Amino acid sequence: DIVMTQSPDSLAVSLGERATISCKSSQSVLYNSNNKNYLAWYQQKPGQPPKLLIYWASTRASGVPDRFSGSGSGTDFTLTINSLQAEDGAVYYCQQYDKIPITFGGGTRVEIK
Amino acid sequence: QVQLMESGGGVVQPGRSLRLSCVVSGFSFSRYSMHWVRQTPDKGLEWVAVISIDGSIKYYADSVKGRITVSRDNSKNTLYLQMNSLRAEDTALYYCVRDLEGGGWTWAFDYWGQGTLVTVSS
């Protein structure tokens, strides 16, 4: 199985500042034939299901503000939240969808200072 | 708008069975592969199963293989999860989830239901 490791487990960021979350996969999720990274990011707020933010490592899902961006390739990925807003306080998960079983990272809690 | 509504959760004794259902609306169900994903405070998010658009292809997590069966009825816009020989470690919130890509699959998830809680306890 591909193991997804997120860091940090939690971070506190002031309003308007930048939050950066790392996700590393135990093997590459880059599919060479189409040059796509099979990596997604989700946001989950209390009492709600996860919400898709980013797929193909850097493509924002419909309706996601452009302060959210994804980057990286192969085994190392980053979710960046610029100009953090109060509503961005949540847990963020990365997910690989290159191979079955589909696997998630353990989550990173973003707290607004 | 896209809606997924799970039902069928509850408290069940170890070794017993339960069937979850997910009724969808707001999109063409028969064009999308569908997944079940479960979540617990301890183990986080765990993918459980996927079924192709016509139900001919199914994949399962090793932790549920042989005990859980995913199925669908495209005429009823409904996804199912038949859970047999339930164990304490199956206790979780079970989400019905739509695959990102219509007409095929990517195994990324774009719409999630609110979930139905399964508790396995004597």
- Predicted confidence (pLDDT) per residue in B43-52, tens digit: 899 999 999 9
And the tokens for B119?
Answer: 């508790």
What is the reported pLDDT for B106? 86
Q: Is B112 on the interface with A (CB under 8 A)?
A: yes
Which phi and psi (to 5°) does residue A27 adopt?
-150, 160
Q: Check B45 against A61: CB less than 8 A apart.
A: no
What is the reported pLDDT for A38? 97
CB B100 within 8 A of CB A55: yes
What mean pLDDT is reported for chain A? 97
Tell me the count of A-B CB pairs closer than 8 A: 51
What is the reported pLDDT for A43? 98
**Looking up tokens 């847990």, which residue turns up?**
A91
Q: Please state, in angstroms and rounded to a whole number, the distance separating the CA atoms of residues B82 and B28.
A: 23
What is the reported pLDDT for B87? 97
Which residues of chain A neighbour B107 with C-beta distances below 8 Å? 38, 97, 100, 102
Pick B110's closest partner by Cβ from A52, A95, A104: A52
What is the reported pLDDT for B105? 83
State the smallest CA–CA distance between residue A103 and chain B in angstroms: 7
Which chain A residue has its CA at the smallest distance from B47's CA? A102
Which chain B residue has its CA at the smallest distance from A95's CA? B108
Q: Please state, in angstroms and rounded to a whole number, the distance separating the CA atoms of residues B53 and A45.
A: 30
Which chain A residue has its CA at the smallest distance from B37's CA? A102
Number of H helices, E strands in chain B: 0, 11
**Looking up tokens 């998010």, which residue turns up?**
B45
Q: Is the pLDDT of residue B104 over 90?
A: no
The strand pairing partners of A55, in sequence order, are A59
Q: Is the pLDDT of residue B102 over 90?
A: no
Helix (H, G, I), strand (E, B) or coil at B29: helix
Q: Is the pLDDT of residue B77 over 90?
A: yes
The single-letter code of the amino acid at B65 is K
List, for residues A54-105, the tens digit of each pLDDT value: 999 999 999 999 999 999 999 999 999 999 999 999 999 999 999 999 999 9
What is the reported pLDDT for B78? 98
List, for residues A17-53, the tens digit of each pLDDT value: 999 999 999 999 999 899 999 999 999 999 999 999 9
Q: Is the pLDDT of residue A108 over 90?
A: yes
Q: Check A101 against B47: CB less than 8 A apart.
A: yes
Mean pLDDT of B83-111: 94
Q: Please state, in angstroms and rounded to a whole number, the distance separating the CA atoms of residues A55 and A39.
A: 6
What is the reported pLDDT for B21? 98
Which residues of chain B neighbour A40 with C-beta distances below 8 Å? 108-109
Interface probe, candidates A5, A52, A54, chain B, greatest B C-beta count within 10 A: A52
